[in-house]
Amino acid sequence: MAQRVALARCESYRLPVLEDCLRRLLGLLGGISQFVKNGDRVLIKINLLSGKPPEKAVTTHPSLVEAVVNLVKEAGGIPTIGDSPGERATITGLDRAYRTAGFEEVSRKTGVPLVSFEDDVMEVNTSRGRLYKKFTVTKRIKDFDVIISIPKLKTHPLTYITAGVKNNFGFIPGLRKTEFHLKLPDGELFSEMLIDLLSTIKIDLVILDAIVAMEGNGPVGGVPRNVGAILASKNVIALDFVACQLIGYKNPLAIPTNRIAIERKIFLPGNIEISGEKIEDLQVEDFKRIPQDVSQKIPQFLIKGLKGLLSPKPKIIDQLCNRCFHCLESCPVKCVDKTKNGKLSIRYSDCIRCFCCLELCPQGAIVIKTSWWMKLFTA
Ligand code: SF4
Ligand code: SF4
């Protein structure tokens, strides 16, 4: 059976506009009652990352989450909002992230609790995992009948986009995420792991915030870009297939998680039915995407010598750095050093290109540096 992805034009974060748009969007999937029944406990899994003001386009917009909360309540559901930011996950840090990103206000207005994923954990197993057969995730998911994932559409240096599939990584509490970056420095392996994780937690509905997406140096230091769309689906991979086309990927298989899902027969190519708007009417072809790691295309016998030259690297922009040292603390191989003059530098000989530093830098002071060798290969 074809997987339906509903696509709606939406160019405003005003609550009445969002509610109207969501009703139309979910109507294309059978309405909210298809997903939420009276009395259901519903977890709304947002993308909080490091907690930035909504206009920075780092986090799911709080007004969209508020609109979903209202619809869930109308259907008789009991909503709760949750996520685990990537940085050191203290309760103060989490409270600050929720406050800065506008969710404390949503909670105050709607009475919906904001939960932490850090306290209790549990193991979930998957017989379908290729790299991982089990994961340690938040125990919170056991408390809910329904999970609605609401990611933000952004660029990402390892996975090219962060949308439906990548949002599940937030079920792994706090700094436990860093262990995966250490073991899986390569975007391909990391994507394999994300597909393993996908089969452990059932997402009932995914709604993608692509009204204002993030282009360029995502997922934290990029630039907000109007795309003017909301997408929804029961199928996380189908949604990612449509999302990447929306920002100009002609071939959805350029996104490793999409390709791996097909290779593993978790998803069938051509198995998508788009309802609502046409992609061509909303496509942003000049969206600034992540340059592809051309080292993936080089024959194995050449790769060892050339990979260092061809792979993109993180680069610290000293003028933007406020010396918070999050990058130094979170680097899984400890290759960020303080120099004698107080600046920070990266030891590229040890850097595994996991881009945790870029993801967690609160200032957007770490960017992706592309070598001229790489530009030569991609020219
Ligand atoms: S995380 Fe960013 S702002 Fe903080 S020290 Fe590192 S580069 Fe500077
Ligand atoms: S410097 Fe950044 S990209 Fe390199 S290993 Fe450390 S966290 Fe990962």
pTM, 2 dp: 0.88
HSE of 298, CA atoms in CB hemisphere, 13 A = 19
The rounded Å distance from CA 283 to ligand 2 centre is 33
Q: Is the dihedral of CA 219, 224, 227, 233 positive or negative?
A: positive
User: Would you call 79 helix, strand, or coil by DSSP?
Assistant: strand
Q: Whose CA is nearest to atom 2 of ligand 1?
A: 361
Ligand nearest to the CA of 177: 2
Q: How many other C-beta atoms can be found within 10 angstroms of the C-beta atom of residue 285? A: 10
Q: What is the pLDDT of residue 298?
A: 54
Given CATH 3.40.50, say whether it is the number of domain 3-282.
yes
Structure tokens at 211: 């009204």
Question: 8-62 pLDDT, tens per residue?
Answer: 999 999 999 999 999 999 999 999 999 999 999 999 999 998 788 999 999 999 9
- Nearest ligand to the CA of 314 is 2
For residues 153 and 243, what is the distance between their CA atoms, to the nearest angstrom? Answer: 8
Per residue in 192-213, pLDDT tens? 999 999 999 999 999 999 999 9
Is residue 71 within 6 Å of ligand 2 at its C-beta? no
DSSP symbol at 63: H
CATH number of 294-378: 3.30.70.20
Name the amino acid, one letter, at 36.
V
pLDDT tens, position by position, 95-111: 889 999 999 999 999 99
Band (pLDDT 50/70/90 cuts) for residue 379 is very low
| 206 bridge partner residues | 149, 233
279 touches ligand 2 (CB under 6 Å): no
Sign of dihedral through CA atoms 211, 109, 201, 184?
positive
pLDDT tens digits, one per residue of 76-92: 999 999 998 766 555 56
- Which residue is closest in CA terms to ligand 1's atom 3? 321
pLDDT score of 75: 98
Round to whole Å and give the CA distance between 325 and 328.
Answer: 5
In this structure, the dihedral spanned by the alpha carbons of residues 222, 227, 232 and 237, taken in order and rounded to 10 degrees, is: -50
Query: What are the sequence ranges of the domains in the chain?
Result: 3-282, 294-378
Q: Which of 87, 363, 367 to mutate to test the pocket of ligand 1 (most atoms within 8 A of CB)?
A: 363
- 291: its two tokens: 């340059």
Q: Cβ neighbours of residue 154 under 8 Å, at least 6 residues apart?
A: 57, 58, 161, 162, 163, 213, 214, 218, 219, 222
**pLDDT value of residue 358:** 86
Please tell me the distance between residue 92's alpha carbon and the centre of ligand 1 in angstroms: 20
Query: Per-residue pLDDT tens for 273-286?
Result: 999 999 999 999 99
In sequence order, the 6+-apart residues with CB closer than 8 A to the CB of 350 are 333, 334, 335
